[in-house]
Amino acid sequence: MNKGVGINEANHTLTPQLKVTGGRKLSGEVRISGAKNSALVLMAASLLTDDDINLRNVPPLTDIACMSNILLSLGAKLDHRVDNLSINSSNLNNSSPPYELVNSLRASFFCIGSLLARMGIAQVPLPGGCRIGTRPVAEHIRGLHALGAKIEIEHGLVSAVITSPQHRLRGTNIQLRCPSVGATETILMAAVLAEGETVIQNAAREPEVTDLIGLLTAMGANIHGTGTSTIKVIGVRRLHGADYSVIPDRIEAGTFLLAAGITKSTLRIAPFIPEHLTAVIDKLQEAGCILKQDGIGVIIQANELKSVSFTTQPFPGFPTDLQAPFMSMLTMAKGASLITEKIYENRLQHVPELQRMGASIVLHKDTALIKGVSKLSAAPVTASDLRASAALVLASLVADGTTYIRGLYHLDRGYAFMEKKLRSLGAYIDRLNP
């Protein structure tokens, strides 16, 4: 596809880029891949048993490849065929994943819970901050300590050891100070093999936590309170293998709903679980979009958009991971919208890039005031993080002219075949590789 090039492409091919020529309506159906944030934690949970864990619907993403390398570094064996991933951890021989891998994938820190429960020792580098915020792991560590692990943090390395003569953690009550997804998942994976009962209060309720409980239960764990903020785990001595299918990625599904919204198109998106995106569906409807459940999918019809306002919150509130893509859509809505980002302190870095494309956005601390404009215009832009990259792709679909988007490393972490899927819906989008 080669359309509407107004700028010398040779200047734009030193790093991989997306080249998007805006103004096309989209139509047709898009298939949603498995959820990245579920698949990553299910892979960590596979360390809890000697038997095979067969995961289906695993998305082909660079984050998944990184987690695979972490499991390999610990001695696990992996067999990856298309979207099926089989993991065997019967010969784990290392309890310390390397810094280079943990540093490039924050979610890999969550392995500390399963590794500790399984091997009695885990030494995992502190993941550090990332572009969207400081992202502490204090709650994860506090939870493991409450379960009886001896914890030392030195030279950037968290060492957790089970010192009890029974070589098992001890169930207890843990009240999380914030409903952290990763802390809930880490503690769950540690508690399933602990002695006695663990109660996690103020637990995260995100669908990815529920998916983890689904796999752990299929492996023989005894867990109550799924989907609520109080989760009770009755420890078992051993877990066994399981076959399990990852839930569809609600953030990818939401991104395509917003692609329909911003291009004023009609799309079918499947598979789709509406309960995973209630807050987003409400806001899309308030903006004037019509959504209808259609079998295992949803049909969205979009036309003129109205302004809406929201604040990001833990589930079931509006998800931070769709804040940036939703903002892109609102740059073209009639009227003024307010978006407040409450989960991460640095997740509004897409704003200056959207402004370069003609969006009218005023930032004040954690809040963006977006005044809808009648058109965006193409500009070279750079993605600062994963969801910002999706926001820029959405804006480019309607921008006047050809937009070149850099920073695709972020996009490839979390969106499987993004440009291929958009192209099949009629978008003019290509990847330029150097």
Q: Which residue has the tokens 């058109």?
A: 375
Given the complex with ligand EPU, which of 4 and 133 has the nearer CB atom? 133
Q: Per rule CB under 6 A, is residue 139 in the interface with ligand EPU?
A: yes
Positions 329 through 368 that interact with ligand EPU (CB under 6 A): 343-344
Q: Are 58 and 296 in contact (CB under 8 A)?
A: no
Q: Which stretch binds ligand EPU (CB under 6 A): 133-141, 158-166, 223-231, 236-244?
A: 133-141
CB of 407 to ligand EPU, least distance (A): 14
Positions 99 through 128 that interact with ligand EPU (CB under 6 A): 107
Per CB under 6 A, the list member of 147, 376, 378, 386 interacting with ligand EPU is: 386
**Binding-residue total with ligand EPU (CB under 6 A):** 24
CB of 176 to ligand EPU, least distance (A): 8
Q: How far is CA 319 from the centre of its chain?
A: 10
Q: Are 376 and 331 in contact (CB under 8 A)?
A: yes
Residue closest to ligand EPU, measured at CB: 182
Given the complex with ligand EPU, which of 188 and 378 has the nearer CB atom? 188
Given the complex with ligand EPU, which of 7 and 138 has the nearer CB atom? 138
Given the complex with ligand EPU, which of 168 and 413 has the nearer CB atom? 413
Given the complex with ligand EPU, which of 320 and 402 has the nearer CB atom? 320
CB of 156 to ligand EPU, least distance (A): 16
- Given 66, 111, 130, 178, which residue is catalytic? 130
Three-class DSSP labels, the chain:
CCCCCCCCHHHHCCCCEEEEECCCCCEEEEECCECHHHHHHHHHHHHHCCCEEEEECCCCCHHHHHHHHHHHHHCCEEEEECCEEEEECCCCCCCCCCHHHHHHCHHHHHHHHHHHHHHCEEEEECCCCECCECCCCHHHHHHHHHCCEEEEEECCEEEEEECCCCCCCECCEEECCCCCHHHHHHHHHHHCCCECEEEEECCCCCHHHHHHHHHHHHCCCEEECCCCCEEEEECCCCCCCEEEECCECHHHHHHHHHHHHHHCCEEEEECCCHHHHHHHHHHHHHCCCEEEEECCEEEEECCCCECCCEEECCCCCECHHHHHHHHHHHCCCECEEEEECCCCCCCCCHHHHHHHCCCEEEEECCEEEEECCCCCECCEEECCCHHHHHHHHHHHHHCECEEEEECHHHHHHHCCCHHHHHHHCCCEEEEECC
Per CB under 6 A, the list member of 5, 14, 138, 296 interacting with ligand EPU is: 138
Positions 170 through 229 that interact with ligand EPU (CB under 6 A): 178, 180-183, 204, 206, 208
CB of 140 to ligand EPU, least distance (A): 6
Per CB under 6 A, the list member of 42, 45, 53, 137 interacting with ligand EPU is: 137
Handedness of CA 337, 343, 346, 347 (dihedral sign): negative
Given the complex with ligand EPU, which of 344 and 428 has the nearer CB atom? 344
Per CB under 6 A, the list member of 16, 128, 136, 426 interacting with ligand EPU is: 136
CB of 321 to ligand EPU, least distance (A): 5
Positions 32 through 51 that interact with ligand EPU (CB under 6 A): 37, 40
Instruction: Give catalytic status of residue 130 as yes or no.
Output: yes
Encoded tokens for 255: 């991104």
Binding mask 241-280 vs ligand EPU (x if CB under 6 A, - otherwise)?
A: ----------------------------------------
Given the complex with ligand EPU, which of 176 and 219 has the nearer CB atom? 176
Q: Which among 300, 363, 310, 355 has a CA at the least distance from the CA of 337?
A: 310
Binding mask 51-90 vs ligand EPU (x if CB under 6 A, - otherwise)?
A: ----------------------------------------
CB of 181 to ligand EPU, least distance (A): 4
Given the complex with ligand EPU, which of 314 and 401 has the nearer CB atom? 314
Q: Per rule CB under 6 A, is residue 320 in the interface with ligand EPU?
A: yes
Q: Rounded to an integer, what distance in angstroms lies between the CA atom of residue 138 and that of residue 198?
A: 19
In this structure, the number of other CB atoms found within 10 A of the CB of residue 355 comes to 15
Distances (CA, A) of 138 to 49, 109, 134, 180: 26, 12, 11, 10
Strand partners, 80: 85
Q: Per rule CB under 6 A, is residue 153 in the interface with ligand EPU?
A: no
Per CB under 6 A, the list member of 22, 171, 372, 414 interacting with ligand EPU is: 414
Given the complex with ligand EPU, which of 201 and 266 has the nearer CB atom? 201
Q: Which residues are known catalytic residues?
A: 130
Question: Where do contacts with ligand EPU occur on this chain (CB under 6 A)?
Answer: 37, 40, 107, 133, 135-139, 178, 180-183, 204, 206, 208, 320-321, 343-344, 386-387, 414
